[in-house]
Amino acid sequence: MPLSESVIGWLHSITLPALALGLSTSAAIARQVRSAMVGVLQQDYIRAARAQGLSARRIILKHALKNALVPVITVLSFQVTILLGGALIVEQVFAINGIGSLAIAAVRQQDIPMIQGIVLVLVLIVMAVQLVTDILYGLINPKARPS
Amino acid sequence: MTDTTVPAPRTPRPAWMKPATLAVVVPSVAVLATLVVCALFAGWLAPYDPLSQNLINALQGPSADHWLGTDDLGRDVLSRMIFGSRIAVIAACEATGLAVLIGVPVGLFIGYRGGWWDWITMRIVEGIVSIPGIMVAIVIIAILGTGLHRAMFALGILYSTAFLRLARSIVLTEREEVYVKFARVIGASSSRILIRHIFLNIAPPLIVQVTLTVGAVLLAEAGLSFIGIGVQPPQASWGTMLNTAAAYMELNAFLAVPPGLAIVLTVLAVNLLGDVLRDSIGRGVRVPASAPSKPAAQVRVAAGTSIAARPDDALLVEGLEVMVSPKDGGEVPVVTNMSFRIARGETLGLFGESRSGKTVTGLGLMGSIGAGGWITRGRMMLDGTDLLRLTPAQLEKARGNDVAMVFQDPTTSLNPSMTVEQIITEPMKVHSQMARQERRQKAAELLRLVNLPETHLPRYPNEFSGGQRQRIAIAAALALQPKLIVLDEPVSALDVSTQNQIINLLYERRDALGMSYLLIAYDLALVHHISDRIAVMYLGHIVEEGPADRVYHRPAHPYTKALLDAVPLLDPARQRARRSERRAAAADDLPRAADAGCPYRNRCAFAMERCHRHAPPALPVDGGGTAQCFLVDAHRAGVSAPEAEVLV
């Protein structure tokens, strides 16, 4: 169901594929956040925040999470690449007419120019994501910013 | 001195031997063993021919004849599963083997050779990595054509990039190691160096990478076969079976269960084994113990000696006891029966060796001893309020408002992702009703107080030197004009000239604002310089206490004397002898909660018979203060004690 026809219908048709695709990635990211948080919570500045009388919730959400997200952002950009690959299969499962079905049809017909085009588009998406990641990285981590 | 020998360090058990790990390893190995047995003996194990069709019997559920039912062409699902496991094993071996065979030698070569070879190869690898993996495989399959072996060839090339980068990075680190340089110097050939010195180091991470790759290959094979460009029908693979199941989902939903479960279980087993391997190589995440909840009722006031509060007390600590639970279980007291007071505007120097309990005392005041430690008894009266009897919410209010803390290392105690303004105003935001503009003004004012320009407000901690950062930490501590500031080694991470500036700053602020300091330090000269009074800690309690000048120039306790004499000796032989004596004594040096006798007797050069029977009380010393030593009494009674040539 395309977005132009019905927003609700589109949301309805996209929910399950998105869930199928996102669940495994969310597990990978949860793992990253956990290990980063374990490291950050042992830092001195968390002890200092506790000594300032901040609530546990404020410490975790404001002081710890922002620092823990720095390594997670890097992983996130790799995850986007993996998600794009996963989308090829999820499209098949949910019979979505997307770039994945196009690629598979092209393989079957040995349509090399079409495959080249698809790869080019995917690479452009990945590069755009990497660029956004690098900018986000600078925003969230002052050490990576030119002063 | 005692003749106690140092206990031999326990050899840690290998990670895979631990019970919790075995619970993961045994089922994982069992799953993989089943898989391999099925693959090897598929022909004998399968009850039917995986390709023989029986259209009358199509799409049946599980039955006595067909344990896992039949598919759309009436083929036995169990038999197809067993033959599918053969495909899985072949796929994993082919793709992973190819990836290792291509990746490792190329990685070793370009890592060792460097230069153009390295540059060009790495750019190609980066290009491949920036395309989704399955798309790379699809492209290769588009060129080669479909089928199991071609698909696995494609995956092998794809995953070889991981092995290539692994091998290269290890070579790059190892070739700089001294022993490799040495081998080169003595004229060993390049190939010999590569094989002998580098290959041994690459083996552990390589094994981990192999398990991860096997898992990825299994998933990729299923994915490729599912979308119809891997294994081709009618051949039975778990991926093609899933494809069939998807097509007939509405007629027989059970068809998806066996191949789905098989893929999940196999990949899970491989990845869990990989995790165990990685952890036993030592790159896992260390999990800190969760904080034990401290029931408020557990804190008791020390029985007996109740010290009367004085009107000018800023802080009165009485009978404090802190327990920690070490990793191997149990409870160990780190602070026992500790009492001291700090008057308003006064600085108390808390002084002792590392692990004497001084930092724990400071953290106890802040109510943040952290995971694995808690206060079991005592009082902490801050301006008439017992900090240990506050509810968590009241305690949060007291911290920052009434007590603040400056930590030892300003490079780690300031949050790197917050600006100076955010760091300084954070306590105000939480504890006061000040408006944003007011807070900013106050922050600027505080910066001026610590002699920094207010233009520093929007900057981040990493832009400052250690001394500047410590000034920022002090400004944050001063933010709400606390009654007491705990200074935990505030200058020991700074260089000497900076130390002086910070000390003078602290002095100035204390006198201007009428605060009290609890200074925790191991440098007695520094403590003497800053403090009005000094308390010397040994094994979790105060052994001597008194005016700074008296304690520094005329120490009454043998331990204080020993610390003052602890300047290294110039004669190496004597210094070595002294050190080994100390080490032997320190081995026996554990806090004892319920033990008769003086805690210091085993290291004391003057230990008398009565010292072994009972601990000395705090006895008044001439010139002010107290010391927990019988020698103080002996002095008073006119008995001559051995003179202070202490060899501890």
pLDDT tens digit sequence for B302-333: 544 566 667 778 888 888 888 877 666 667 78
Judged by CB atoms closer than 8 Å, whether chains meet at A53 and B397 is answered as yes
Q: What pLDDT band is residue A81 in, cutting at 50, 70 and 90?
A: confident
Query: Which of residues 88 through 127 in chain A touch B, CB cutoff 8 A?
Result: 88-89, 92-93, 100, 103-104, 106-108, 110, 112, 115, 118-119, 122-123, 126-127
Average pLDDT, stretch B206-218?
88
Residue B78 clears pLDDT 70, i.e. is over it: yes
Let me know if residue B62 belongs to a domain: no
Give the CATH number of the domain where residue B246 resides.
1.10.3720.10
pLDDT given for residue A9 in this prediction: 80
Q: Are B342 and B518 in contact (CB under 8 A)?
A: yes
- Inspect the interface and report whether the beta carbons of B462 and A130 lie closer than 8 Å: no
Q: Write the DSSP symbol of residue B177.
A: S
Residues B398-413: tens digit of each pLDDT: 877 888 888 888 888 8
Cβ-Cβ contacts under 8 Å, B126 against chain A: none
- Nearest by CB to residue A45, choosing from B287, B288, B413, is B413
Structure confidence at residue B370 (pLDDT): 63
**What is the predicted pLDDT for the residue at B372?**
65
Q: Is B460 on the interface with A (CB under 8 A)?
A: yes
Q: Is the pLDDT of residue A95 over 90?
A: no
Residues B470 and B564 in one domain: no
Same domain, B113 and B205: yes
- Domain tally for chain B? 3
pLDDT at B461 over 50: yes
pLDDT tens across B154-168, in order? 999 999 999 998 888
| Residue B68 within a domain | no
pLDDT higher at B533 or B171: B533
Question: What is the SS3 string spanning B209-250?
Answer: HHHHHHHHHHHHHHHHHHCCCCCCCCCCCHHHHHHHHHHCCC
Contact B132 A82 (CB under 8 A): yes
Mean pLDDT of B71-78: 85
Least confident of B41-45, B48-52, B279-283, B372-376: B279-283
Facing B417 at nearest CB: one of A35, A107, A140: A140
**Between A17 and B583, residue with greater pLDDT:** A17
Average pLDDT for residues B385-400, to the nearest whole number?
80
Q: Is there a contact between A103 and B412 if contact means CB atoms under 8 Å apart?
A: no
Tokens found for residue A57? 């919730």
Residues of chain A in contact with residue B135, where contact means CB-CB under 8 angstroms, are 84-85, 88, 103, 118-119, 122
Residue B98's pLDDT is what?
A: 95
Q: What is the pLDDT of residue B644?
A: 38
Residue A10 has pLDDT above 50, yes or no: yes
pLDDT, residue B85, reads 92
- Decide if B629 is inside a domain: yes
What is residue A134's three-state secondary structure?
helix
- Check whether B551 has a pLDDT greater than 90: no
Residue B360: band (very low, low, confident or very high) from pLDDT cuts 50, 70, 90: confident
**Domain membership flag for residue B495:** no
- pLDDT tier at B283 (50, 70, 90 boundaries)? very low
Q: DSSP per residue over B487-516, as a string?
A: EESTTTTS-HHHHHHHHHHHHHHHHHHT-E
Instruction: Count the neighbouring beta carbons within 10 Å of the beta carbon of residue B370.
Output: 17
Q: How confident is the model at residue B583 (pLDDT cuts 50, 70, 90)?
A: low
Across B495-507, average pLDDT: 84
Residue A111: exposed, middle, or buried by beta-carbon count in 10 A (0-12, 13-18, 19+)? Answer: middle
In a shared domain, residues B117 and B253: yes
Provide the pLDDT confidence category of residue B582 given band limits of 50, 70 and 90.
Answer: low
Alpha-carbon gap: B42 to the closest alpha carbon of chain A (Å): 29
What is the distance of C-alpha A67 from the center of its chain? Answer: 18
Bridge partners for B338 per DSSP: B320
* pTM summary value: 0.69
Does any domain span residue B198?
A: yes
Q: In angstroms, rounded to a whole number, what is the distance separating the alpha carbons of residues B189 and B585?
A: 52
Instruction: For residue B139, give the nearest of A34, A92, A119 by CB distance.
Output: A119
SS3 B282: coil
Identify the pLDDT of residue B156: 93
What confidence category does residue B647 fall into, taking pLDDT thresholds of 50, 70 and 90?
A: very low
> Would residue B76 count as lying in a domain?
no
Q: What is the pLDDT of residue A142?
A: 73
Range of the domain at B604: 559-647
- Whether B366 contacts chain A with CB within 8 A: yes
> Cβ neighbours of residue B396 under 8 Å, at least 6 residues apart?
A53, A54, A55
pLDDT of B2 > 50? The answer is: no
Q: What is the mean pLDDT of chain A?
A: 84
Chain A to chain B, count of Cβ pairs less than 8 Å apart? 148
Confidence tier at B284 by pLDDT (50, 70, 90): very low
Of the pLDDT bands very low, low, confident and very high (cuts 50, 70, 90), residue B119 is: very high
Rounded Cα gap, residues A46 and B415, in angstroms: 8
User: Where is the domain boundary, B475, B509, B526?
Assistant: B475
Statement to judge: residues B157 and B261 lie in one domain = yes
Q: Residue B371: pLDDT band by 50, 70, 90 thresholds?
A: low
Confidence class for position A126, pLDDT limits 50, 70, 90:
confident
Residues in Cβ contact with A121 at an 8 Å cutoff, skipping those fewer than 6 apart: A99
Residue A73 pLDDT more than 50? Answer: yes
The pLDDT of residue B636 is 57
Asked whether residue B258 is domain-assigned, the answer is yes
Are both B148 and B256 inside the same structural domain? yes
Predicted confidence at residue B3, as pLDDT, reads: 41
- The arithmetic mean of pLDDT across residues B129-141, rounded, is 84
Q: Is the ipTM of this complex over 0.85?
A: no
Average pLDDT over residues A24-49: 85
pLDDT of residue B5: 42
Query: What's the gap in Å between the CA of B142 and the closest CA on chain A?
Result: 5
Mean pLDDT of chain B: 80
Closest chain A residue to the Cα of B462, Cα to Cα: A143
Task: Pick the range with the lowest mean pLDDT from B31-40, B69-78, B512-521, B628-637.
Answer: B628-637
Do B568 and B471 reside in the same domain of the chain?
no
- One-letter amino acid at B443 equals A
Question: CB count, 10 Å around CB of B34?
Answer: 15
B588-616 pLDDT tens trace? 555 544 467 787 777 777 777 778 777 78
What pLDDT sits at residue B315? 87
pLDDT band, very low/low/confident/very high, at B169 (cuts 50, 70, 90): confident
A132 or B281, which is more confident: A132
B304 within domain boundaries = no
So what's the pLDDT on residue B572? 73
Top-confidence residue, B570 or B360: B360
Do B595 and B469 share a structural domain? no
- Cα separation, B591 vs B319, in Å, equals 16
Domain boundary among B224, B249, B280: B280
